Each structure stands twice: as structure tokens, then as C-alpha cells.
């Protein structure tokens, strides 16, 4: 049985991850792949509990270190329970956010040193990394205006434009450093054009 592929989707607020995740899932299923769709933080009952701890607005300030450790705790559980078993049986895993979010939000946004994040990445993941990461890139104001049409902002969505500009810059930096693993798609285009670009990326990966 061949090992499956691990694909992650990333981006800032309102970039259309949920919408395009469904497109990628359908595209891969159409190629006859078994696709496991999951998300971070979350993906198992315990990790989903950690997710709600992380996203809930609260009066108590959240220590950035506590936030970082909670994210990696959820990730450890998710990898053992969902991601690794699925890859081992040959499924393709499609994950809504993964460790690039940590580099972007906790690194770029909160200012955590990359090397510190890297230590936790190695501790929790060993040498497991996504085979391909799709970064949906959008102008921050445009993304926020799309996101505001949805529900009440959670603890992350209430951050400043400056914070999200730093998150976006961190994503771009990751992609520039390892262009073989990342594909950056302009998510400010109409949905049809975005999905045309995503399909081109998937064709390369599939072939």
C-alpha cells in the first residue's frame, strides 16, 4: 500500500479556505482518491476541546506561550489519532491549517521566534511535513470584509489589521523559502478563477 499525500490549506481571514477546501476534496475524490478532510486546531474530540479553549473570547489575557503549547498539544493528538493512520493506509489527508499557521500567526503575528516554533515542530511531528501547502493570499482589508459577513469574531478574528499584515507576510516568506512545497494562489479573484488556479496546482501534484 503506497503512502498517501498530506495537503494543507492556509491563509488569513476571509480568504475562502472553507469554500476551497470543499473544491479540493471533490477534485481529489474525482481522481479516485480516498480523502480525509480534517482541520487544526481540532480534528479529534480532545483537539476540538483545545480548539474551543483557544478561540473563545475571554477576559483573562492569554499568554502567547500557553497559546503556542495548546496549539501543539492539539496537533500531537490530531497527528496520532487521525493524520498518521490515514496516511499509513494510503489515504490523502486534506487539512484546513497546520504548522504553517503557527509560523504565520504565532511567529509573524505574535512575534515568536521561528527557531522556538521549530523545536516544538520537531518534538511533535518528527520529520512529518505536508507534501504540499496551498496558501490562499488576499489583501487583508478585502479578506476582513468577507469574514465580517459571517459570525461574531472569535479571539483571533478580533486582532488588528497590522497583526494580519504580519501573518500574511510570514506566509509569503515561508513560500519564498521553499517554493517546491508551497503554491500561492491569488484568492482576491472571483471564485471561478481561484478554483481554476487551484486545479492547475492539483494537476501538477497528481501527475
List interacting residues with ligand Z5A (CB under 6 A): 11, 13-19, 40-41, 71, 96-97, 101-102, 105-106, 146-147, 149, 154, 156-157, 187, 190-191, 194
Least spacing, CB of residue 9 vs ligand Z5A, in Å: 8
Pick 105 or 182: Cβ nearer ligand Z5A? 105
Least spacing, CB of residue 148 vs ligand Z5A, in Å: 9
Least spacing, CB of residue 192 vs ligand Z5A, in Å: 8
The residue sitting closest to ligand Z5A, measured at its beta carbon, is 16
Least spacing, CB of residue 55 vs ligand Z5A, in Å: 6
Nearest Cα neighbor of 96 from 151, 133, 59 is: 133
Pick 154 or 203: Cβ nearer ligand Z5A? 154
Least spacing, CB of residue 30 vs ligand Z5A, in Å: 20
Pick 89 or 196: Cβ nearer ligand Z5A? 196
Q: Which residues pair with 93 in a beta bridge?
A: 6, 36
Pick 91 or 144: Cβ nearer ligand Z5A? 144
Amino acid at each position: 500500500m503506497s503512502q498517501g499525500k498530506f495537503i494543507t490549506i492556509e491563509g488569513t481571514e476571509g480568504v475562502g479556505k472553507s469554500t476551497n477546501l470543499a473544491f479540493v476534496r471533490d477534485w481529489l475524490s474525482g481522481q479516485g482518491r480516498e480523502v480525509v478532510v480534517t482541520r487544526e486546531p481540532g480534528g479529534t474530540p480532545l483537539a476540538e476541546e483545545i480548539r474551543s479553549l483557544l478561540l473563545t473570547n475571554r477576559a483573562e489575557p492569554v499568554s502567547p506561550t500557553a497559546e503556542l503549547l495548546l496549539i501543539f498539544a492539539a496537533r500531537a493528538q490530531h497527528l496520532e489519532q487521525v493524520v498518521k493512520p490515514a496516511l499509513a493506509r494510503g489515504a490523502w489527508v486534506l487539512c484546513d491549517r497546520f504548522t504553517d499557521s503557527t509560523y504565520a500567526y504565532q511567529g509573524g503575528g505574535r512575534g515568536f521566534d521561528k527557531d522556538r516554533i521549530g523545536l516544538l515542530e520537531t518534538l511533535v511531528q518528527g520529520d512529518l511535513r505536508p507534501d504540499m501547502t496551498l496558501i490562499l493570499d488576499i489583501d487583508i482589508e478585502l479578506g476582513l470584509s468577507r469574514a465580517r459577513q459571517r459570525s461574531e469574531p472569535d479571539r483571533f478574528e478580533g486582532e488588528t489589521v497590522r497583526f494580519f499584515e504580519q501573518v500574511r507576510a510570514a506566509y509569503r516568506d515561508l513560500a519564498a523559502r521553499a517554493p517546491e512545497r508551497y503554491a500561492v494562489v491569488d484568492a482576491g479573484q472571483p471564485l471561478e478563477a481561484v478554483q481554476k488556479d487551484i486545479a492547475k496546482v492539483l494537476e501538477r501534484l497528481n501527475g
